[in-house]
């Protein structure tokens, strides 16, 4: 038996902010945003909706979808850089709200790679026999740390949550291989002071190199070749970065998720939201080999190769 995803859920706020809406407030254009990033619109949470509220909605759906009860969870891992407050953690808040009274709880801070770090951590606990079910959530309210007067960053980000329940799956399914990495020397390039600040060009160069390399590495670690890959779920930061990873795996465009168009960059939520989106649209089937790959502030990166199904 290995560890795999046995249920998923998502939540995005109803409020859609289009590029045309941003044109009214900033010196920007729909044309610039679409050609440089691929983003058409993003979801922005209301003032009274915080990260934990969105996480709860996604978590509930994932638990129901897995067919387990909250009491059966052994561990809750919440990947976020926008918790409601520094402490208590979002995971502890959820533990209470969900009634997951047997679960331990901790938040994971690995920015846009946080969901991958969470999946890999869950895999260790499950495969060691310490946990039966682990809830992993990627969740962000980036709008609360966005400087809405800075066109360099305000057009890029969005809010949302994606959740997965991991448990034991059959030998032929689940997480086959992973890679996690960090290069703290690039920490200056993307950080939160009061608001999120970013040196876009430097992050872009790092991301193009690392997304392609890490995607290939994880396939090789699985003892497979790029021809075996059925679907790519890259972190949704910028279509040009995503395309470079897709080309490295020689995958046709329709075999890569591109929810960046509709959700923008939702940091740790982008990979689970995309996975869920593709599942809902029937583009990922039982037995497919999928590669998840992300990078982000730290700088950090991570990738996972998994065979979909239970």
Question: Annotated active-site positions, please?
Answer: 112, 235, 265
- Considering only 94, 105, 113, 237, the residue that binds ligand UT7 (CB under 6 A) is 237
Considering only 75, 113, 126, 155, the residue that binds ligand UT7 (CB under 6 A) is: 155
Residues 77, 134: Cα–Cα separation, whole Å: 8
**What are the tokens at 1?**
């038996």
The CA distance from 306 to 290, in Å, is 5
Please identify which residue in 37, 80, 139, 303 interacts with ligand UT7, judged by CB under 6 A. Answer: 37
Identify which range of 92-100, 194-202, 246-254, 278-286 contacts ligand UT7 by CB under 6 A: 194-202
| From 128-136, 203-211, 222-230, 273-281, span contacting ligand UT7 (CB under 6 A) | 203-211
Can you tell me which residue has the tokens 């291989």? 177
Given candidates 214, 265, 266, 303, which one binds ligand UT7 under the rule CB under 6 A?
265
Nearer to ligand UT7, 36 or 209 (CB): 36
CB 45 within 8 A of CB 108: no
Q: Note whether 214 binds ligand UT7 by CB under 6 A.
A: no
Distance CA 72, CA 300 (A): 32
Residue span 289-308 as binding mask against ligand UT7, x where in contact by CB under 6 A, dash where not: -------x------------
> What tokens were used for 291?
């590669």
Helix, strand, coil distribution of the chain in percent, nearest 5? 40, 25, 30
Beta bridge partners of 29: none
Contact between 254 and 229 under an 8 Å Cβ cutoff? The reply is no
Comparison of 28 and 109: residue with beta carbon closer to ligand UT7:
28
Cα-based distances in Å from 81 to 136, 139, 157, 249? 15, 8, 13, 30
| C-alpha 262, offset from chain centre | 15
152 belongs to the binding site for ligand UT7 (CB under 6 A): yes
Question: Of 100-108, 139-147, 150-158, 272-280, which segment contacts ligand UT7 by CB under 6 A?
Answer: 150-158
Rank residues 133 and 295 by Cβ distance to ligand UT7 and give the closer one: 295
Under rule CB under 6 A, residue 52 binds ligand UT7 = no
The least distance separating ligand UT7 from the CB of residue 309, rounded to whole angstroms, comes to: 29
d(CA 174, CA 180): 17
Site string for ligand UT7, 67-106 (x = CB under 6 A): ----------------------------------------
Which range binds ligand UT7 by CB under 6 A, 126-134, 147-155, 164-172, 301-309?
Answer: 147-155
| Sequence-ordered strand ranges (E) for the chain | 2-11, 16-18, 41-43, 75-79, 104-108, 134-141, 159-169, 174-182, 190-192, 196-198, 231-234, 289-296, 300-307
The distance of closest approach from Cβ of residue 28 to ligand UT7 in the complex, given in angstroms and rounded to an integer, is 3
Q: Which residues bind ligand UT7 (CB under 6 A)?
A: 28, 32-33, 36-37, 112, 151-152, 155, 190, 198, 200-201, 203-204, 207, 237-238, 265, 267, 296
């Amino acid at each position: 038996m290995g560890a795999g995803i046995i249920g998923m859920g998502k939540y995005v706020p109803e409020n859609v902010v289009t590029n045309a809406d941003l044109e009214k407030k900033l010196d920007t254009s729909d044309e610039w945003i679409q050609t440089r990033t691929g983003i058409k619109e993003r979801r922005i949470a209301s003032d009274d909706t915080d990260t934990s509220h969105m996480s709860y909605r996604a978590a509930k759906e994932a638990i129901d979808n897995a067919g387990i009860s909250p009491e059966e969870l052994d561990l809750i891992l919440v990947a976020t850089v926008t918790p409601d407050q520094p402490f208590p953690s979002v995971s502890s808040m959820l533990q209470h709200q969900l009634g997951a009274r047997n679960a331990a709880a901790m938040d994971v801070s690995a920015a846009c790679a946080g969901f991958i770090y969470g999946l890999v951590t869950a895999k260790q606990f499950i495969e060691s026999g310490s946990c039966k079910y682990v809830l992993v959530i990627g969740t962000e309210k980036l709008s609360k740390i966005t400087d809405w007067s800075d066109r360099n960053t305000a057009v890029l980000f969005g809010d949302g949550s994606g959740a997965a329940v991991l448990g034991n799956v059959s030998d032929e399914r689940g997480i086959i291989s992973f890679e996690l990495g960090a290069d703290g020397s690039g920490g200056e390039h993307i950080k939160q002071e009061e608001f999120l600040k970013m040196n876009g060009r430097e992050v872009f160069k790092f991301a193009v190199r690392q997304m392609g390399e890490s995607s290939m590495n994880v396939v090789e670690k699985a003892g497979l070749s790029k021809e075996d890959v059925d679907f790519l779920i890259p972190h949704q930061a910028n279509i040009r970065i995503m395309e470079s990873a897709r080309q490295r795996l020689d995958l046709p465009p329709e075999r890569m998720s591109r929810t960046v168009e509709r959700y923008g960059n939702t940091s740790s939520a982008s990979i689970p939201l995309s996975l869920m989106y593709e599942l809902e649209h029937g583009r990922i089937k039982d037995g497919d080999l999928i590669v998840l790959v992300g990078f982000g502030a730290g700088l950090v990166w991570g990738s996972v190769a998994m065979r979909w199904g239970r």
